[in-house]
Structure formats: structure tokens, C-alpha cells
A and B are shown apart, each in its own frame.
Chain A
Amino acid sequence: MTRMFVRLLMAAGIVVGAQAGQSSGARAADLVVAVSDNLNGLDPHDLNDNISQAAARLTHEGLFKLDRDMKLVPGLAESFTANDTATEFVFKLKQGISFPDGTPFNASVVKFSFDRGGNPANNLKRQSIYVMIDHTDVVDDYTVKVTLKYPFGAFPNNLAHPGAMIVNPTLVTKFGKDFTRNATGTGPFELVSWGADTLKLKKNAKYRMAGLPKIDTLTYRSVAENGTRLAMLQAGEAHFITPVPPEMIKLVEKNADIVVFDKPSLLSLFATMNSQKKPFSDVRVRQALNLAVDKKAYSKVIWSGYADELDSPMAPGLGYYSKQKPWPYDVAKAKALLAEAGYPNGFDVTITSGTSTLSKRSMEFLQQQLAQVGVKVTVESLEAGVLTSKLYTNPAAETATIQMLVTGWSSSTGDADWGIRPFLWSKGWPPVLNNFAYYKNKEVDDAIEAGLSTIDPAKRAAAYATAQKVAWEDAALLYLGMSHNLAAYSKRLKGASMRGDQQFQLDEDATLN
């Protein structure tokens, strides 16, 4: 009786299994990407998270774009010229392109898109991309001239940002407030549906590159639980999953059908130190802390080795990166510096960060490391909403309550400007930008501003080299490391990767077979 039952059960299982196999066979051309969070919308001008932006990049394109290595390449623009002071840019557009609904792509579409994104009245989340634009003019059908309010050498890089992608004016007008649910541009894929946790796309038949993309349909699903994402990949239900926590990489590596993606990201990780207040107003204290932390141990303990040492405030993948001499791990020297600064027995400090395991473990790691030089750390783990308000609602450096914040920065433009300005520029103290260290150094400020005032690569390189050198040696931050992008994908998938800015990247000629 029992055996009979088991046999029946197995038979049923085989049938079910076969069905599952069949259906996955039928879905062969459907590429499934599983990510950790829900999309916040499809309107590229109104997104500020990597997952949504990566999805928007499947359906939209900008005048420029960044390739899989974060190199600036032309998108909808054919070519451009700029004046010497980096205040006027003229773009020649590619011809013969149209949106899936037939709306032609031309200069007035570009003007519409830029005007929309930058108009404060629209209050779109990406208006900062356009903030330097004074006005945009249609020169002829395929020529656009953009005049800036002030020199902005990184402008083409700015336009490679997902927030500067060109939207379809017909859809904007048609859907109004609901545009964010219906946006679809000139990108390789076209929107089919988006609801709850699933985005479905299909090949854009009108895509400008003939014969591409080679993938018919694409499903972008949000699966919060790491283990479940991994199971989906193992079961063949998903073909690309990200992120994969470091501790799970070992599980994946054994599977012959799965490829592990492991490359340095552009995310530099650091702890801020409020440099306007004691004890961190003393450069020796900041330097001592940089010497007191074993960065190799950091990589091993926090990232299971999937992180590299920093040798500049910004990651090497960004334009105008300039390598510095890494801070060694030298407890004796750190102690000496602290003594010199008047803290022979260290001091008490509170380190703050979010509630994720990563944040907590990083704070505990620092607590243990800094104890060796006598700095007694209290760990404060704040839920995101609380942390945000604490960081931004108390903007005066003197009264700021957060002494040290474990955080990080990754530039989404691929350029040095957005790679360092938000957290090292003295005009970017909260709530304006994210300089939570309240760092202020005239040399750094001047260099950042000089880098922006020209498009001359040589001048810009020199300016950013200075900025990086000074901020590094001045120990503006407690530099921790630079994490890797970890993802995993099916062997059947070719041409998918994670870009340095932690966004899913699907090359136009990607295949799934």
C-alpha cells in the first residue's frame, strides 16, 4: 500500500517534472533576470536606483551611453562639438530612428526630453543631471545645441547617465502621470507589461541596429530573498541573478551550468569622519585611523575576499582616476600619531550605519580594529528612514550628530566629477550633497571646480589628479576598500554582465541559447 503510494507519487512527480521541463524549453528565448528589489518605475528621468535604471536602459537610450566597461560611447548622437569653455555643446543626431509606436526620433524630441527632465516644475528625481543646462535649441532636424549656465566639462558623460535618456514625447503627453508605468523608448527592447514584481519586455522591432537584439523576450523579476534567486538560477527559471552574496559564490561555483561574474565595481567604501569637530579636525587622527585598519582583513571578513584595497578616493574604473600610495596597516604608527595629536589613550566614538548585515558587520569590524589603537567604538545601526533624516536634517557641521558613518559611493556617469564631488566638495555638505564628513579643503575644492570648467582632457586629468592626491593624503575619509560586483548567470547566456556602477548590462548582441 505504502509502496504503491510512493510509486504513484513519483509517477506524478515525473509528469510534473516533465511539464516543468517542457515549459522551460518553450520559454527558451525568454531571458529571465532576477534582481533583489522592486522597480520604482520605468520613467528614466524619475529613477534613482540601480535596479530600475538598469531596467530603463533596456528600453531607452541616451545621446551617449556607457559600455560594459563604463567607456563613453555614442548612443543616439552621431558626434558632438563643444566650445573651449565647455559651455556650449552641439550634437549631431543619428537619423532614421523611431520609437516603437512610430514617433520619429529627431532634434525636437531631444529638446523635449531635456526640457522635461530639467524642468523643476516637473520635480523629477533626475533633474540634477540637467541643472547646468541653460537652454536647448533645435538647430535643424538632426542638430541640437545645448547652452550651459556654467562650464561643465563632464557634460557628455552626464548625458550618458540613464537619467538623461531620451523619452518618447507621444507617450509623455498621452499618459501624463502614468507615464512611469508605460515608458518605453528607442532602446533594444519594448515594454510589454509591468505589474507588481515583474517587468516583461520584448524585442523592439524598430531598433536602430538591424538584426539586434537577438533575444526575443526578457523578464525582469524582483526576488528579494538571495536563496530564492539562486534557486531560480539553479532550477533554470532565471538566467541572470544579481546580487549574489559572497558566501553563496562557493555554492554556485560547483555548478557546471552556472558562470560566476566577479569584477571590481566602482563602489568605493569608506567611513566618514566629521572633520569639523574634534577629534577628527586633526589630520593626524584621521591618518591614524587609516593606518589602524587592516584593509586585507576587511576584504576577507566583510566580503569573503570579494573586495580590493582602495588606492584613491575613487575607483580605478572611473575616468581621470589617479593611483595613490595605499595606506599601510601600521598600528604602531597609528598609535604614535594619536599620541602626537593628544590622544595617547584613544577616545570614544560612535559609528553609525544602516541595518543590513553588511553595514552591521562593517561597523563591528571597525570596532574591533580601532580598539587596537585605543579608540572605543559604539556601534549604532539605524533603520533607513531614521538614518536619512538624521543625515540630512541637521546640516550644520558643528551640531551634526553623526561622528562616523560607514557608507560608500559609486558614480553613475563614469566620470571623476560625480566620482568625488558629492562627498569631498565643501559646497556639498548635507543637505546639498553627500559630504557627510563635512570635509573642507581649499585645494580639493579648487581642483574639483577646475575639472568642471573645461572639456580639455589634459586639464581635467591634472585637476582630478590633484584632488585625489590631496584628499587621499589628507585622509579625508577612512578608506576601506572597493567591492566586487557579484552575479551569476546561466552558461546559455552570452553578453550579459554587471557594469562597474552595479547595473545589469545586456549587450545589444547578447544571446540565450
Chain B
Amino acid sequence: MALLEISGLKLAFPGEDGPVEVIHGLDMTVEAGETVAIVGESGSGKSVTALAVTRLLDHAGGRITAGRIGFTDRAGQVRDLATQSQEAMRLLRGPEIAMVFQEPMTSLNPVLTVGRQIAEGVMLHQGLSEQAATEEARRLLEVVRIPDAARQLGRYPFQLSGGMRQRVMIAIALSCRPRLLIADEPTTALDVTVQAQVLRLMRSLQKELGMGLIFITHDMGVVAEMADRVVVMQQGRVVETGDVVALFAAPSHAYTKMLLDAVPVLGSLADQALPAPFRIAGAPVVVQDTVQHGAVPVLELDGLVTRFDVRRRFRLAGRIHAAEQVSLKVWPGETLALVGESGCGKTTTGRSIIRLEQPRSGTIRVNGEDLSDLSGAKEKRLRRAVQFVFQDPFASLDPRLTIGFSIAEPIHTHGLAQGPAVQARVQALLEQVGLLPEHARRYPHEMSGGQRQRVCIARALASEPSLIIADEAVAALDVSIRAQVVNLLMDLQARLGLAYLFISHDMAVVERVSHRVAVMYLGQIVEIGPRQAVFGNPQHPYTKRLLEAVPVPDPTRRAAHAALDESEVPSPLRTPDDMPVVAPLVAVGAGHYVARHRVGGLY
């Protein structure tokens, strides 16, 4: 008998005009010890399905309108979870069914210690004393490989890194040895090396405990890493289900095919020196040969330093060394990717260029002009030449202004057009980014995430810049949309000769778009060079670790990177008198440089 057998499940949420059905008759099974991945893009209904199984759906306002959720409990009795009372469900949650959620930053209670949060479930379901439960919590922290477990018990969530918090979440979920674990995008918010660690941990624990695992994700790479079987969902329906290897090898549904095509696969351009857009079915491959090597660099950073003072009670307690001696050049028509994990300083570097942060030292040249000191007209020239596209398109558009107004603003500011010409320019820009002229009259909330990001790009283009700094500009988008936006950026580069500083943590996308790559670690560039050289022949240990951690969307290559590093990345926060060592990079190939000095003690 299957551990979980869902049949004909329909879910609805109350809407303005009566209930809105979001799941339209779902069937799936999970066997004990089996990992079933549910994949799909946002709005496919995968998270809601997970909430329905645990009946946390009731607290989110949703309702099961039809169907059956058969669950075989520890005693071998089959229960229909769709009809269980809340109290009966409560007793099942924890010892029988547990969940791990996406956001480790918000899924733990900020005012309770980690130990207390783990011990709570243990005390509830196993009837242990507080002391025994705390001891059990310590053991669980060791199980999820948190170093110095005894000390961590008394700490609060905000004192832990994202990866550590997700381990704590897993410890909570596993505390009562559940028979079914539902993990909803458990690694999406984590850095890639941390993701690799957490995925490996979950796999080994599942094996140990023989749990059924439902793994919800949008990331085909992660699916390939984890799943035995795959359920593909689209708009509240299962469109395809099957064994992971078979499904990756021969997807039968068009949507599955599209999902797989849109997934950037790291290494797919390994034998190709130049970047190339995602393939649209049937179209020929066009490589991005746009770099004007002989020209004046659009951006030249030399020894850029940005630090943040951390003050405690009016005293300097430490410094975050966000950018240390960062030097790089970007040529017209070139894409330089700045990669690294959270806290490495890639975003600060980008923001320092346009003075959203104030650098301590270093020179910034734009189109050959030294703009380190922004006096008089220089600021205006900088603002025009360099544009920024942020990760969150919603937050970066004023919700009270129409799209047309937002795009027209830089045209007015820089005096690029007057009167009716402005309207014409806005329409041209909208068309350039693949939108329609009538979109100008819409408000941000009337548009999808992908459309909004196109608007942001159009707005960036309005001032006719030579460089666009794209900071995780495609990270928040669904895979299919992401591919479209990446292609748009590359198309614009080919047509307008734009240069990009492409800040990203996603190695596969970086492989697609960039001519050159700079790897940042603890505020320093540790490796920089042509993309093919850096990805194909990484020299710095951190670069290697980063590349190895990337999940490969190929279930047959699962065991390829077994030797994972369990260490945490050190903090860029240092005491005021502890200055980091910075040394010039060493050339290892044509335009390929690497750091040979120790950075942050780890490498």
C-alpha cells in the first residue's frame, strides 16, 4: 500500500465572486522511501498541494472541495487526510508528516532559541521532559551536521546563516521521525554551495529514515539531483508524471519539454568561446560576437574599496569589507559576469559604481572619463551612461505611476526628447523590449513579473546608456520567462552594442550570457578571465567549489560531485584592526588571472 495516495483532489480559495478552484483533480502517490518531485512554475499549485496534505491549507484560507488523500499511518491504518479533524491532523503533524519550507529566514520564530524550537515538537509528541528534549535537540543538530551543536541550542535564528537555519528547519522536521517529509522549495533561497550541502543532507537522512519525500521545486537541476519520480504541474493540473530518468530523457508533454529546454545547463557551452542565447525551437544558434576589444572600455574600476562600519554604542566595532581592491574593465558590447555567493560583495560593487554606496577609494572610469569624484555635470553623465536593473521588478517600479510615465522619466531628466517625441520614444522602447505600445498606460500591478522586468529594462534603455548593471535581474523569474528575458538582453546587446555588468549567482545563466567572468569571494575578485577559461579550467579553489555545487539537470550524472565541502563561507565582517590581505592576481592564461594569496583564511 502506498504511503500517500491522492486521488481526484480539488482545492479552492475564496475569491471575490465565490470560491476559486486552484487544483482541478490531482492524482499522485508516494511510496515509503521514495522521493517524488513536484515541479512547475509559479501558480502551478505545487505549494498548495503540499499544504493540503498537511491540512495547513485550512489556516491559509483554502478548502478541499473534492477528492481523497489516503495516508497509511505508522499503525498501518489508512486515513483520509481530507476529512480528518484538525485535532487529529495536529497529532499527525510532526510524528507522521513533517514539512520544510522555502524561506529559512522567516520560517523560524525570531524570539525563541533554536533549541527551544526543536525541543518543542519533541516534548509534544514524544512526551519527553524539557531536559531530555533539549538533549534530543542537540543530537538532532548533530544529525543535520551543525558544528558545535550544544552551543547553538541557545542561539536565536538571526544569529545563524541561511544554510544553518535551513538545517535547523530540517532538524525540526525530522525531530519526530516522520514517515512523510514535504519539502517546499527548501533550497531556493540558499546559495548554490549551501544548496548542495542541504540537498546532500536531505538525501542521506531520507535514506537513513526510510521516509517518503515530496520535494517541491521549480529547479530542474534540483529535480535531477533528488527525485525518483517526477510530477509536472501546470496551472493546477498534473501534465506529466514518470520516472525521473525516463522523463528527462524523453519528456512527452510539450510543457515538460519547454521546461527542460529553458533550463540553462551548465557546461552546455563548454566548447563554445562566445555566449549564445537560449535556443528557441528550430532557430539557428547565433553566437554573441559583439565585443569591441580595441575600443575605450565603458567601465574601468581600479582598486575600488567599499567598507561599511559597524558601530556598537557609538564605537567602531568592526567593518564589513564588501569590496576590497576591485579592479576590472568592461568593453563596449561585452558582458562581464560578476559571480559569487551572498555577502561576497558583488552587489556592493555594482552599487558603488553608480554611487548608491560611497566607495572609500579607487577610481571609476566610464567611457574613459574619471568619475571617481562626482562633481557638477559629471554626475549627470554617469547617471546617463550607466543604468541599473534590479532583481525585484515590482519594488523598483513606482506603483502609482503608469509604465509609460516611469519609462519617460529618464527621457525628461536627461532632456533626450521633448513633446510628442517623448511618447514616440516610449513606444519604441516598449517595442524594443517586446511589449506593446498600449502597455504604456498600464500600472505595474497589472503586469506579470516578466513583463515588469522588461519595463525595467526599457526604462534603463531610455537614457541610451553604454553600460547596464543587471543585479540578479532574472533571478526572481520562472525558468521559461527567465530564458526569454536573457535572450532579450542578449538581443539588445547585439543590436545596440550595450555592455553588461551581469551580477548573478546562477552559473548556468552566466555561462549563457557572459564573455568574461569575475568570481568574487569575501569582497575580492579571486579569479577573472574569459568565460570558457574560468568555467572550463577553474584555478581558484573557491571557483571550483562554486562550479561543482551547481546541480546538473541530468539524473544520470547524479553522483558526479560527491566530495562536497561542508564548511561555511567566513564572514566579511572583521574587527577594525584586522585588515584583509590583498595581493595582485597572477596570470594563468590569456586574460585569465587568479588569486594566489590566502583570502579569508579558508583558501
CB atoms of A and B under 8 A apart anywhere in the complex?
no
